[in-house]
A and B are shown apart, each in its own frame.
Chain A
Amino acid sequence: MSTPETVPADAATPSFVRSALRVYDLSLGQMLWSRRTVFMALVVGGPVVVALILRLLVAMDLVTARGLVDGRAVTVTGPVIFGLMIWGFYLRFTVPLLGVFYGTALIADEVEDKTITYLFTRPISRGAVLVGKYLAYLGCTGLVVLPSVMLVFFLVVPLLGGSIGMAFPDLVKDLALLAVGLAVYGALFALVGAWLKRPLLTGLVFIFGWEPIVVVVPGYMKRFTVSYYLQGLVPHAMPQDGIVTSILAILQANEVVPSAAVSLIGLGVILLGGLLLATWFVERREYVLEQ
Chain B
Amino acid sequence: MTRQTRYFVLGTSGLLVVGLCTGLFAYYNRGEALAVSVAGPVELAHVPPNASVVAYANVREVMLSDFRERIRQIAPDGVGQAELEQQLGLNVENDVDHVLAFLAPGPNERPAGLVLFRGRFDTTRLEAVARDGGATVSVYADTRVVSINAGDVGALAMAFMEPGLVAVGDLATIHQALDRGSTGPDLTSNEQMMGLLEQIDGGSNAWAVGRFGDLSTLGILPDEVSVQMPAVTAFVVDGRVNGGISGSVTIEGRDEEAGQNLRDVLRGFLALAKMQTTGRPELQLMLDSLQLSGTGTIATLSFLIPSEALDLIFSYAAPDTAP
Asked if A and B bind, the verdict is yes
**Chain A residues in the interface with B (C-beta under 8 A):** 25, 28-29, 32-33, 64-66, 71-75, 77, 79, 139, 143-144, 146-147, 150-151, 153-154, 158, 160-166, 168-169, 171-172
Partner of B37, one of A72, A150, A154, A161: A161
- CB neighbours (8 Å) of B33 from chain A are 165
Q: Provided the pairs A163-B37, A164-B34 are in contact, do residues A28 and B5 lie with their beta carbons within 8 angstroms?
A: yes
Cβ contact within 8 Å between B39 and A139? no
User: Within 8 Å of chain A (Cβ to Cβ): is B87?
Assistant: no
Cβ contact within 8 Å between B12 and A147? yes
- CB neighbours (8 Å) of A79 from chain B are 37
In angstroms, Cα B15 to Cα A153, docked, is 13
In angstroms, Cα B35 to Cα A33, docked, is 41
User: Within 8 Å of chain A (Cβ to Cβ): is B36?
Assistant: yes
Selecting from B19-27, B239-247, B298-306, B315-323, the interface stretch reads B19-27
Most interface-central of A25, A158, A161, A172 (chain B CB within 10 A)? A161
Q: List 30 A-B contacts (CB under 8 A).
A: A28-B5, A29-B2, A29-B4, A66-B198, A74-B188, A75-B39, A77-B37, A77-B39, A144-B12, A146-B12, A146-B16, A147-B12, A147-B19, A153-B19, A158-B35, A163-B36, A164-B22, A164-B23, A164-B26, A164-B27, A164-B30, A164-B34, A165-B23, A165-B26, A165-B29, A165-B31, A165-B33, A168-B24, A168-B27, A169-B27
- CB neighbours (8 Å) of B202 from chain A are 161
User: Within 8 Å of chain A (Cβ to Cβ): is B225?
Assistant: no
| Residues 1-54 (chain B) with a chain A CB within 8 angstroms | 1-2, 4-5, 8-9, 12-13, 15-16, 19-20, 22-24, 26-31, 33-40
- B180 → chain A closest CB, angstroms: 14
Known: A165-B23, A168-B26. 13 other contacts (CB 8 A): A32-B5, A75-B40, A77-B39, A146-B12, A151-B15, A153-B23, A154-B19, A161-B36, A161-B39, A165-B27, A168-B23, A168-B24, A168-B27
- A232 → chain B closest CB, angstroms: 22
Cβ contact within 8 Å between A166 and B36? yes
Q: Provided the pairs A25-B1, A154-B19 are in contact, do residues A161 and B8 lie with their beta carbons within 8 angstroms?
A: no
- CB neighbours (8 Å) of A163 from chain B are 26, 30, 34-37
In angstroms, Cα B33 to Cα A268, docked, is 39
User: Within 8 Å of chain A (Cβ to Cβ): is B194?
Assistant: yes
Most interface-central of A25, A28, A143 (chain B CB within 10 A)? A143
> For residue B3, which residue of chain A has the nearest CB?
A29
- A59 → chain B closest CB, angstroms: 15
Interface residues on B, range: 35 or more
Q: Provided the pairs A161-B37, A165-B34, A168-B27 are in contact, do residues A66 and B16 lie with their beta carbons within 8 angstroms?
A: no
Pairs A-B, 5 closest by C-beta atoms: A165-B30, A165-B26, A150-B19, A73-B188, A168-B27
> For residue B202, which residue of chain A has the nearest CB?
A161
- B21 → chain A closest CB, angstroms: 11
- CB neighbours (8 Å) of B27 from chain A are 164-166, 168-169
User: Within 8 Å of chain A (Cβ to Cβ): is B289?
Assistant: no
Q: Provided the pairs A164-B26, A168-B24 are in contact, do residues A150 and B16 lie with their beta carbons within 8 angstroms?
A: yes
- CB neighbours (8 Å) of A166 from chain B are 27, 30, 36-37
- A34 → chain B closest CB, angstroms: 12
- CB neighbours (8 Å) of A66 from chain B are 194, 198
Q: Provided the pairs A73-B194, A164-B23, A168-B27 are in contact, do residues A143 and B34 lie with their beta carbons within 8 angstroms?
A: no
Cβ contact within 8 Å between B189 and A72? yes
> For residue B24, which residue of chain A has the nearest CB?
A168
In angstroms, Cα B186 to Cα A72, docked, is 9
- B65 → chain A closest CB, angstroms: 15
- B15 → chain A closest CB, angstroms: 5
- CB neighbours (8 Å) of A151 from chain B are 15, 19
